[in-house]
Amino acid sequence: MKIEKLNIENYRTIEKLEISLDSYYTAISGRNNSGKSNILRVLRFILGDNSMFSGDDIEINYKSDFPIWKKNETNESIKICATILLYKNFDSSLIKYVNTFGLGKKDEKEENITLELHFELKADISNPIIKLIINEVEIEEYKSKEIVQKIRNTKTLIFHNSTQTDMSWAFRRNVHGFIDDFTSQSSAGLQSKKQALTKELKKLIEQHRKDLSQLIGRLEDKYDVGLNFPGINLDRIPFEITLGEKDYDIPLEDWGSGTKNRTLILKSIFNAKRIVESEDTENKSTPVVIIEEPESFLHPSAQAEFGRILQDLSEEYKIQLICTTHSPYLLSHKSPKSNILINRKIERKKLREAYVEEVSDDNWKAPFETALGMIGPEFESLKDAFFSKDNTILFVEGKIDKEYFELLKDEKHGSNKLDFVGEIYSYDGFGFMTNNQLLKFIVDRFSRILITLDLDTSKKVEPNLKRVGLVKDKDYIIIGKDTSGKRNVEGLLTDIVINKVNAENTDLVQGLMSDDKEEVKSAKNSLKGKYLEEMKQNSLPNEEYYGEFYKVVKKINKQLKGSG
C-alpha cells in the first residue's frame, strides 16, 4: 500500500492543503505549530490507528476540529481525500476484497488498484459522509463504508509517537520487545526444551539475527544486525535489537534512551517486510509506517545514522514511511521532492492557515534552512552532496580539482591509484566551512568524510575544522605548495606541464600581471583549464607527471581505501 496524494480542507490549522507523496520515504518538516502533526492525525483517521500505544483519540469532530477563525462559516465542511495505490504483489487480501465486494468481480485477475477515499464532515451531522472511488468507478455508500472499515481493521497503519518517552511497559522493563513478536513458534519451541534452555536460547537468538540479516537483503553489506537478550523469562523471552553501519565507530546500543524508541520503529519495519514476503495471500497487506519525530532523544550523530537507515530500508523494502521532523538529518537525502515543508500564514499578527511551501529543485534547501535555523549562500554548491547516495564522501575544492582526482581513479596508476569507490564532490569555494553549524551538519550527515583544502585558504577555515573535531591528515588534507600561484591543486602539477602550457599561451601569462582584477581572474581560470586538458591528453601515469598527486592519494587511501 502506498498513499500517493492527500487533500485536506478545513481541519484544525488547515484550510486547503494538497500533498503529493512521490517516494517511499517522506519527511514533513516545519516550525512548531505549523500543522505537521495534524497531517499525521488525518492519515491515522483515514487508515485507522491500531497502534497499541497510540496515546490519543484520532476521530474527527466538526465542532472541535473546524478552523477556529472560520467558526461562523457553518456552510463549509471538513473534507479529506486520500489517493491510495494497492499493489497486487503486496496487498492481495485488500485487492481481493475490493474486487469481490466493491466491484462484484469474484474471479478478477489481481492487478494494482487505485482507491480514492473521500470523507466529509458537516456541522449538522455527527458521522462523516464516506465516498469511495475504485479505479475511477464510484461505489455505493454502504459498500464504501464497509471497504473503509475493512482497510482500518486490516492494520494498514503503524504509528509511532517518538516524543512520548513511555510508549509501552516494555520501556519500563528496559527491554525492546519479545521474540514471539517475530514468530509465535519461538515460545512453544523453548517451553518443550526447558532442560537445555541456555543452549536453545543462544541458538534461537542467533537464528533470529540471521533472519533479520536476510530481511535486510542487499543492504547486508552496509549494515550489521545485532540481537541480544538481557534476561530470561520463561513466559516471554525479551530481546534488544540493534542496526548499525558496518565499521562505524559508535555502536547503536551505546546511544542512550533513544535506542529504545528506535528499536520499536525498526521492529515495525521488519514486521512489515515479513508481510510483504508472506505467502499468506488471504491476510497480505503492507502497512504504511508513520513516525512522529523519530529523532527524539538521539544526538546528531545518531540522528544522522538513523536517518540513513530509515531511508535505505523504506526504499529497499518498498514500504512507505512518513515522518514529521525538526531534524535536518531526518530530511530525505534521496530526493528534494520527498521533503515537504509546512508553514503558516500570518494575518494581523496571528497565525492562520497552514500551507505547503514549494520545495522544487531551485528551492531544495528550504527545509534544511528551516531545520538548521539558518539561511545563507553557503548551501548553493552543496546540493549534489546533500542528496548523495553514498555515506562516505570525498570533498574537493572545485570542479577542476574533482577532475584531477577522477583521473587518479584510473587503474593505469597501479598501486598509486585513488582507491575510493564513492563519489567525489566539489564544494566550489570554502563558504560552508566558515559556518560552524552547517559544517557540523555535513560532518554528521555522512558516516565518513574527508576534505581536501587548498593551502591558500587553510588559515581561514582550519580553525573551524578543528572546532568541529576534524583532524589534519585524517579528516582533511591540505594541498598545494607554499609558493605564489601554487597554493592549490595546481601546485601539484609537474613543471613539464606548467612550462609547456605557459609557453603556448604567453598572452594568458601576461594577463596574470594585469592591473585589471577581472582580467587576472579570467587569465588564471583559462590557464587552469589548459593545465587540466594537458594532463588529460599527454600525461603519463608515473612519478614524473603525478608524483605530488600520489603523495596526496596515499593520505586519502589511508583514510578512505575501498570506501563508498
- CA angle, 511 as apex, 509 and 517 as ends, to 5°? 135
Q: In the chain, what percentage of residues exceed pLDDT 70?
A: 83
Concatenated DSSP letters of 270-338: HHHHHHHH---GGG--PPEEEEE-TTTT--HHHHHHHHHHHHHHHHHHT--EEEEES-TTSS-SS-GGG
pLDDT digits (tens, 9 = 90+) for 378-426: 887 888 888 888 888 999 998 999 999 999 999 999 999 999 887 899 9
Alpha-carbon distance of 372 to 365, in angstroms, equals 10
Q: Which amino acid is at 500?
A: K
Q: How high is the pLDDT of residue 305?
A: 86
**Confidence grade of residue 180 (pLDDT, cut at 50, 70, 90):** low
pLDDT of residue 162 exceeding 50:
yes
What's the CATH superfamily of 2-162+276-372? P-loop containing nucleotide triphosphate hydrolases (3.40.50.300)
**Confidence grade of residue 235 (pLDDT, cut at 50, 70, 90):** low
**Confidence grade of residue 73 (pLDDT, cut at 50, 70, 90):** confident
Q: Is the dihedral of CA 360, 395, 415, 249 positive or negative?
A: negative
CB distance 386 to 335 below 8 Å:
no
pLDDT of residue 167 exceeding 50:
no
CB distance 88 to 111 below 8 Å:
yes
* pLDDT average, residue stretch 279-308: 84
pLDDT digits (tens, 9 = 90+) for 410-423: 999 999 999 988 78
**Confidence grade of residue 273 (pLDDT, cut at 50, 70, 90):** confident
- CA angle, 138 as apex, 134 and 144 as ends, to 5°? 75
pLDDT of residue 254 exceeding 60:
no
**Confidence grade of residue 271 (pLDDT, cut at 50, 70, 90):** confident
Backbone angle region of 318, left / alpha / beta, with phi > 0 → left and psi within -120 to 50 → alpha:
left
Concatenated DSSP letters of 62-120: HHHHS-GGGTT-TT--EEEEEEEEE-TTT-HHHHHHIIIIIS--TTPPP--EEEEEEEE
Range with the lowest mean pLDDT among 175-184, 259-268, 299-308, 332-341?
175-184
* pLDDT average, residue stretch 76-82: 96
pLDDT of residue 473 exceeding 60:
yes
Domain ranges of the chain: 2-162+276-372, 169-256, 377-560
pLDDT digits (tens, 9 = 90+) for 301-342: 888 888 988 998 898 889 999 999 999 999 998 889 999 999
Among 394, 328, 398, which residue's Cα sits nearest to residue 364? 328
Across all residues in the chain, what is the average pLDDT?
A: 84
